[in-house]
Amino acid sequence: MKKSNQILSVQNLKISFTQYVKGLNTRRITPIKSLHVSINAGEIMAVIGASGSGKSLLAHAILGILPGNATCDGDIIYCGEPLTAEKKIQLRGKEISLIPQSVNYLDPLMRVAEQVKIGLPKKDANKRQQELFRRYGLKEKDGDLYPFQLSGGMLRRVLFATSVRDNIKLVIADEPTPGIHPEALSAILNQLRAFADDGAAVMLITHDIVSALTVCDRVTVLKDGKTIETAKADKFSADGKGLQHWYSRALWNALPQNSFSIYEEVQACL
Ligand SMILES: Nc1ncnc2c1ncn2[C@@H]1O[C@H](COP(=O)(O)OP(=O)(O)OP(=O)(O)O)[C@@H](O)[C@H]1O
Ligand SMILES: [Mg+2]
């Protein structure tokens, strides 16, 4: 049943891949076993977990951009209705926006200013693109460059600018901040907060728990393709006693600003 302000609900998500082994023999692997996450309008949900825990696949399943050898089970409900394959295509880039993890999602053969203009209303696309460049610390002349001519941090800011659109209801940001200088980092986090304050649901996938906690409302913790806990952001405080799962506490306590406890299982996450 949909709660009145719920934008996204993912329940029992399972993702398998068929792979070829030894000639034409195939095998199936299931790295995503049971993911659950729900996000309300006006809320930022941080999604954390070690490398390989399933964060990007969760994002790609919602967007409908899993590779062809993937099969997906479970329920994805968007604004109270099942998010079908057709709807994913229809809503992508309009109501549902992805800030991808990899800068390879940019077109290598198109100047970056042109890429930011895609999907903006034609009549003021130039003005809006220039505003977005200013907001994310990019210079006007950077717009004439191709992706290979920009640094990694600049490319991440371009990616972010491509996601800022009117009528967005769900924003999925997959590691939007690594390699970004502090000013642009806070501009990006503030922009995510502004999306939420305007009524969107925001999924912030990140390894940077501390920065995420400055803007997020709740945190979902993934481990080995499963959701192990969803907690309010304020539970990530002091020694993390308010967290239910030992792994969430271990993640929190492994941070240098906390007790810096070393748990082998959480090293990959930081
Ligand atoms: N196309 C694929 N074929 C087979 N397995 C895959 C494929 N894509 C991802 N996986 C596996 O699924 C698991 C989850 O991958 P995913 O990319 O979602 O991790 P992640 O949590 O985003 O990691 P990171 O923090 O490094 O970005 C990993 O074990 C990965 O090896
Ligand atoms: Mg990832």
What's the farthest any 2 CA atoms get from each other in the chain? 55
pLDDT at residue 177 in the model: 82
Q: At what angle do helices 152-163 and 125-135 cross, to 10 degrees?
A: 130
Cβ neighbours around 67 below 10 Å, total: 8
Closest to 98 (Cα-Cα) out of 174, 188, 9: 174
How far does residue 159's CA lie from ligand 2's centre (Å)?
A: 15
Please give the distance, rounded to the nearest whole angstrom, from the Cα atom of residue 54 to the centre of ligand 2: 7
Q: What is the pLDDT of residue 184?
A: 76
Question: What pLDDT does residue 239 have?
Answer: 86
Pocket of ligand 1 (CB under 6 A): 17, 31, 49, 51-57, 67, 101
- Residue 257, pLDDT score: 78
Out of 53, 101, 204, mutate this one to test ligand 1's pocket (max ligand atoms within 8 Å of CB): namely: 53
| CA-wise closest residue to 145 among 178, 176, 116, 187 | 116
Query: 108 exposed, middle or buried (CB, 10 Å; 0-12, 13-18, 19+)?
Result: exposed
Which ligand is located closest to the Cα atom of residue 18? 1
pLDDT means over runs of 10, the chain (270 residues): 82 96 91 98 96 96 96 97 96 90 91 93 93 92 96 89 89 87 84 94 95 97 97 94 93 82 60
CA of residue 66 to ligand 1 center, whole Å: 11
DSSP string, 91-158: HBTTTEEEE-S-GGGS-TTS-HHHHHHTTS-GGGHHHHHHHHHHHTT--GGGGGS-GGGS-HHHHHHH
Say how far residue 94 (Cα) sits from the centre of its chain: 16
The three-state secondary structure class of 181 is: coil
